[in-house]
């Protein structure tokens, strides 16, 4: 049995590394595994099709497209640019003001989108031209855009958190609230780095000119007022509703999407922008839903074959020291992050690693946030670095190279891993809010 399990998992990893789509790899490996376990293709097909049908029936999956649609309406309405402008004006007197505004804007935008890729693409077009025009060093500007975009997967609502919660049957609301303090802590680290770097080397980030009130037109003021009020309102609906127990995550996502649609209309969003936002949400959501279906099949194979127990025994045979086992998980996530995306890493590893963490006595919320942070670091890790390629594709500057972005992102990669280790060392950073406020 152990030989079969490791053979199937090895095949799965080989398929992924060869570039086979993760959904196809998960489905094929699961089908072969269940077939060899049961010895009948008909029974294997019946088991897997039933598993896929049950996965589709879970109403919790509607949370993902609704949150993505909410972020799409906000992005297409132009509210993201207003958020950046407001943050920019608020931090004009601080060294590295545009970089600080980018981190602040991303933090707020993260509370709406839940997708790092959307944040990276949006702020590459908005913040990069502003920073370069003021004389910011390109690698510094690119690094802050790519690094702060990672906040999109930590500050709720986060798509990665939803997927993690579905796989481990943790409360989505509790996981959302657990991510607030770590998200704010990481954003604070980013801001301090931006300020200290600009202070020590003004050539990297020249001082910002302070705009006069006369330079701000009435229409701009109105646009910024609508955006600022609306974004705070949406955050209040989503996070406040879940936090206060008034709304389930599904209801909060529905109200958030409806509220974002109204905001878009007030901001002048018309038929084309609305359709583009819906199509964009569909393009983002469909692959995730297919992945979740095949991940359910993969989980069924692991359960039927006792794979989790076999892998646990193997890992504990290597060492029974909790620190060594956590370090092994940490290293595996970092290596996988070099080659595949965050969602795929979670689907492949969390069904196996989460029970190990429970056996080691690690709090499930702390382990979830720790895992999301380490996996998020993979978005900045060469050679894959999904956020790096997103920024490269989105910035309106042909002279930008991948090397520039990777170089500028290194400090943020380090800070993400530092916060991940702090979460593991001090679990109360993730558990205090859920225990006291829910």
Average pLDDT over residues 338-363: 84
User: What is the rounded distance in angstroms from the CA atom of residue 180 to the CA atom of residue 100?
Assistant: 19
Nearest to 426 by CA among 383, 369, 386, 381: 369
DSSP characters over 118-174: HHHHHHHHHHHHHHHHTT--HHHHHHHHHHHHGGGGTSSS-HHHHHHHHHHT--HHH
User: What is the rounded distance in angstroms from the CA atom of residue 218 to the CA atom of residue 224?
Assistant: 10
- Residue 94 per-residue DSSP state: S
User: What is the rounded distance in angstroms from the CA atom of residue 360 to the CA atom of residue 322?
Assistant: 6
Global pTM reads 0.81
Mean pLDDT of the chain: 81
Name, in order, each residue with C-beta under 8 angstroms of 49's C-beta and a sequence gap of 6 or more. Answer: none
Structure tokens at 370: 């720790």
Structure tokens at 25: 């790899």
Q: Are 284 and 115 in contact (CB under 8 A)?
A: yes
Q: Is residue 103's pLDDT more than 80?
A: yes
- Residue 212 per-residue DSSP state: P
Q: What tens digit of pLDDT does each residue of 200-245 get?
A: 888 888 887 665 454 566 666 676 677 777 777 777 877 778 777 7
Percent of the chain past pLDDT 70, that is, above it, reads 92
Q: What tens digit of pLDDT does each residue of 249-259 get?
A: 788 888 888 88
User: What is the rounded distance in angstroms from the CA atom of residue 219 to the CA atom of residue 224?
Assistant: 9
Alpha helices, H only, 319-363: 322-337, 342-359
Domain borders along the chain are 2-437
User: What is the rounded distance in angstroms from the CA atom of residue 321 to the CA atom of residue 326?
Assistant: 9
């Amino acid at each position: 049995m152990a030989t079969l399990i490791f053979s199937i998992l090895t095949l799965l990893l080989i398929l992924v590394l060869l570039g086979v789509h993760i959904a196809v790899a998960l489905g094929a490996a699961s089908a072969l595994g269940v077939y060899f376990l049961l010895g009948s293709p008909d029974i294997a097909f019946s088991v897997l099709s039933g598993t896929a049908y049950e996965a589709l029936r879970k109403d919790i999956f509607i949370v993902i497209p609704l949150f993505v649609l909410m972020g799409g309406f906000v992005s297409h309405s132009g509210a993201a640019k207003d958020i950046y402008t407001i943050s920019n004006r608020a931090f004009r007197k601080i060294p590295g003001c545009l970089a600080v505004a980018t981190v602040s804007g991303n933090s707020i935008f993260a509370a709406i989108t839940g997708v790092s890729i959307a944040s990276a693409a949006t702020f590459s077009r908005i913040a990069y031209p502003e920073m370069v025009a003021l004389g910011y060093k390109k690698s510094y500007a690119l690094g802050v855009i790519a690094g702060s975009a990672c906040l999109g997967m930590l500050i709720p609502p986060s798509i990665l958190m939803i997927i993690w919660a579905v796989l481990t049957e943790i409360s989505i609301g509790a996981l959302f609230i657990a991510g607030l303090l770590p998200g704010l802590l990481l954003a604070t680290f980013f801001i301090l780095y931006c300020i200290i770097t600009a202070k020590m080397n003004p050539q990297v980030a020249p001082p910002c000119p302070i705009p006069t009130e006369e330079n701000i037109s009435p229409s701009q003021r109105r646009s910024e007022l609508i955006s600022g009020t609306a974004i705070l309102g949406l955050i209040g609906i989503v996070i406040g509703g879940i936090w206060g127990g008034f709304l389930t995550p599904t209801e909060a996502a529905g109200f958030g999407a409806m509220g974002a649609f109204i905001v878009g209309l007030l901001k002048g969003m018309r038929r084309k922008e609305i359709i583009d936002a819906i199509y964009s949400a569909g393009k983002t959501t469909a692959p995730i839903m297919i992945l979740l279906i095949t991940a359910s099949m993969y989980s069924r194979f692991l359960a039927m074959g006792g794979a989790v127990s076999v892998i646990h025994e193997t890992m504990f045979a290597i060492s029974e020291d909790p620190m060594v086992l956590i370090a092994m998980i940490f290293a595996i996530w970092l290596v996988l992050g070099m080659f595949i995306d965050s969602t795929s890493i979670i689907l492949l590893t969390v069904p196996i690693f989460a029970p190990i963490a429970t056996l080691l006595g690690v709090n499930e919320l702390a382990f979830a946030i720790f895992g999301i942070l380490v996996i998020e670091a993979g978005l900045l890790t060469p050679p894959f670095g999904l956020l790096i390629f997103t920024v490269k594709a989105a910035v309106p500057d042909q002279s930008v190279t991948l090397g520039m972005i990777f170089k500028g992102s290194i400090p943020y990669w380090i800070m993400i891993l530092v916060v991940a280790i702090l979460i593991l060392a001090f679990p109360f950073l993730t558990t205090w809010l859920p225990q006291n406020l829910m």
